Amino acid sequence: MKATIKTSLKALGLTAALMGATSVSYADMGVKASDQSVSGGTVSADMISAESNGWMVVHRTDASMKPGPVVGYAPIKKGDNQDVTAILTEPVKPGDMLMLMVHGEAGGMKTGVFEYTLGAKEDGPVKPDGKLVMHVIKAM
């Protein structure tokens, strides 16, 4: 009996350690990406860390650094996501600035369906401490 309890406690400890390894807090959230060619009709983030399932959303932006219209999106999972690629839904020219932003999967009518429109709350931007989780790149 003691051996079984000890083994069970070890298994629980291992499970907790593994769960902790994939857990991401608001403080750890982020987007890493580089300026890149969009000639193939896609844009990618090298790494996205997210607190929950959601979306990498590609917004047009400019020197004002305000998110503009959505030009692509891709699903992301809770935890660390590598090489996340979104198909662009409209032409993007070299020199255009793109904001790769983390959006949640909340408030919409269907899970797994991207329902955000600019300014809406459905599947909207994640804002820990009121700040967007995003990275701006330049299309090449």
Q: What residues does each domain of the chain span?
A: 25-138
Cβ neighbours around 38 below 10 Å, total: 22
Tens digits of per-residue pLDDT, 66-92? 999 999 999 999 999 999 999 999 999
| Cβ 7 vs Cβ 62: under 8 Å | no
The pLDDT of residue 7 = 35
- The DSSP code for 63 is T
Tens digit of each residue's pLDDT, the chain (140 residues): 444 333 333 433 333 333 444 456 656 799 999 999 999 999 999 999 999 999 999 999 999 999 999 999 999 999 999 999 999 999 999 999 999 999 999 988 999 999 998 888 899 999 999 999 999 999 99
The pLDDT of residue 25 = 61
The pLDDT of residue 14 = 36
The dihedral through the CA atoms of 58, 62, 65, 67 has a sign that is negative
pTM: 0.81
The pLDDT of residue 24 = 61
For residue 60, give both structure tokens: 């047009």
